[in-house]
Structure 1
Amino acid sequence: MTSLDKPTEDTTADDNRAVTEAALFEAFGGVRGMVETVVPGLVFVTIFTINKNLHWSAIAALAVSLVLVVVRLAMRDTVKHAFSGVFGVAFGVVFAMMTGNAKDFYLPGMLYTLGLGLAYIITTLAGVPLIGLMLGPVFRENLSWRTRNPGRKKAYAKASWAWGLILLGKCAILFPLYWWADTTKFGWVLVALKVPPFLLAVWLTWVFLAKAPPPIDVFAEMEAQERAEEEKRAALAREGGEHGEAPAGGRHRRRT
C-alpha cells in the first residue's frame, strides 16, 4: 500500500464527523422534525392572537399535527417525530380545555422539557448519560461506550450536560412567563424558543462526538462472530466426515 492509499487522520476525522452528522440527523428528525415541532404551536398562537378563541386554536393545532402524520404516512417515512408531536398537542388541548386557560396548552410541553432536562443531568451524574442511551443504537454501538470506549463516554457526558443545562435554562425563562405574561406574548416567546436552543444543543452534541473516538460497531462484531462460528462448525463437519470414512479395502476385505 502506498502512502496515498493509507487513510490519514484527517480522512478518519472527516468520516467520523460525517457519521456523527448523519446519526444526529436521523435521531432528531432533521429539518422536518423541527417543522413538525414548531408548526402546531405556531398555528395555535397565531389563531388565538387573531380571535382569542381557545377552541378554534386548539382544534386547528391538533388538525395540523394530524396532517403532518398523514403526510409522513403517505411518503412512507418514519412517523415517530410526527406522532410525538400529535401526542404533545393532544395533551395540550386536553389541559387547555379542562382549565379554560389557553396558556395551559403549552403546560404539558413545558413539564416535559423540565423533566427531560433533569433526566439529562441525573443520568450523567449516575454515569449513564441519556444522550448515549439515545444515540448508542443509532451508531450501532449500543452500550459499548460505557466500558470499552471511555473517550466516547466522556463525549456523551459533555453532550448530556449541554442538553440538560440548555433545557433547564429554557424552563427558567418560560415558567416565570407562564405565571405573569398574557397568553399571546407567552405563546410567541415559547414558539421563538422552540428551535434556537434545540439547534444549539444538537450543534454542541455534534462538536463533542465528532472529536470523540469512533463508535464500536457491536452489530458488526456479532455478525463476524456468528460467521466465525459457522465456519468453525463447517470445518469440524468436514474434518469429521473425512475421518469417519473407512478405507474401501478395510470394509470389503477378501477372505483367504
Structure 2
Amino acid sequence: MTNLPGGEPAAQLDLAQRDPDHRAEPAESAEAAAAREAAASKEAADTVMKAFGGVRGMIDMTLPGLVFIITFNLTHQVAHAAWAALGLSGLFVVVRLLRRETIQHAFSGVFGVALGAWISMKTGKAENFYLPGLLWNVGYCLGLAVSALVRWPLIGVMLGPITGEMFTWRKQNPGRLAAYTKATWAWVVIMGIKPMILFPLYLAGNVNLLGWLKVALGIPPMLLAMYVTWQILLKAPPPIKAELDEDGS
C-alpha cells in the first residue's frame, strides 16, 4: 500500500472514489467500552447475588444463630434459646410472605433452625443446635467437589437458569464450563474453612465460642466466595442463551 501526499492511504481513497457514501465504522470510544464492561460486571454480580439469596438471604440464615447464643447466655436454658431462634426464623418467613417475596432461603433457614432446636432440646446440649448446620456445610462442600469432578459444577447448575443459558455451557461453551468448574472449586475451598474451625469447638463442647464464631463466619465466607465467582465469570466467555421450543418449554 502506498501513501498519497498528506499521508492518506491509497486504498482508502480508492474505496471512497468507488463508494462515496462509505463511512468507516467508528472505533468504540473509551466511555462506551467502560460502560459495556460496567454493565457486564453488574450483570455478573447481580446473577451471583440472586442465586444465593443476596444479603437479605444471608441475614435470614445468620441472625437466628445469633439470637440463640445471646438468649442462651442470658437464660442458660436450651429450650428458651431454641424457641427464640425458631421464632425469629418464622418471623422472617411471615414477613417475606406479606411482602410477596420468595421464601426459598428463609424457609431453608427455618428448617435448619427447627432441626437444630429439636436436637438441642432433645439432648439438653446447647452445642447441638449448631450440629445440623455443620453437617450441612460438610455435605455441601462434598457435593460441590463431586459435581466439579463429574463436569456438572453446581455453580453452573445454579446460575444457568438465572442467566438464561440453562445448560448450554456443558457442550456449547467450554470456556464457560471451565469458569463454572473453577468457581465451584473456589467454593469448596472457602466454605470448607468453616467446619474445619467449628467442628473442634463442637466436639470440645465450647458453646460460647462455637456460637459466636458460627455467627462471625456466616456471611464473610459467602461474600468472599461470591466475589471470587464474580471475578471468574467476568473473564469467562458470555453465556449462550438456551433456545426454547415454540411452546415456550
Asked if TM exceeds 0.5, the reply is yes
Q: Is the 8 A contact 2:194 2:217 kept in 1?
A: yes
State the match for 2:15 in structure 1.
none
State the match for 1:198 in structure 2.
222
Q: Distance in 2 between matches of 1:162 and 1:92?
A: 28
Q: Distance in 1 between matches of 2:103 and 2:160?
A: 20
Is 1:188 the counterpart of 2:212 in the alignment?
A: yes
Give the 3-state SS of the residue equivalent to 1:212 in structure 2.
coil
Q: Is the 8 A contact 1:65 1:82 kept in 2?
A: yes
Query: Higher helix fraction: Structure 1 or Structure 2?
Result: 1
State the Cα distance separating 1:163 from its structure 2 match.
0.6
State the match for 1:3 in structure 2.
26
Is 1:34 the counterpart of 2:58 in the alignment?
A: yes
Q: Distance in 1 between matches of 2:75 and 2:169?
A: 53
| Count, aligned residues | 223
Unaligned runs of 5+ in 1: 228-256
Q: Which whole-Å deviations, capped at 9, do the CAs of 1:157-196 have from their partners, x for residues lacking one?
A: 1110011111222111111111115211211111111011
Q: Distance in 1 between matches of 2:79 and 2:217?
A: 24
Unaligned runs of 5+ in 2: 1-22
Q: 2:109 aligns with which of 80, 85, 91?
A: 85
The one-letter code sitting in structure 1 at the alignment partner of 2:219 is: V
State the match for 2:236 in structure 1.
212
CA RMSD of aligned residues (A): 2.0
Q: Distance in 1 between matches of 2:181 and 2:215?
A: 28
The one-letter code sitting in structure 2 at the alignment partner of 1:93 is: A
State the Cα distance separating 1:32 from its structure 2 match.
0.8
Is 1:157 the counterpart of 2:181 in the alignment?
A: yes
Is 1:124 the counterpart of 2:148 in the alignment?
A: yes
Q: Is the 8 A contact 1:146 1:153 kept in 2?
A: yes
State the match for 1:222 in structure 2.
244
Larger Rg: 1
Q: Which whole-Å deviations, capped at 9, do the CAs of 1:22-45 have from their partners, x for residues lacking one?
A: 211211111211110111000000
State the Cα distance separating 1:8 from its structure 2 match.
6.0
- Calculate the TM-score normalised by the size of structure 2: 0.84
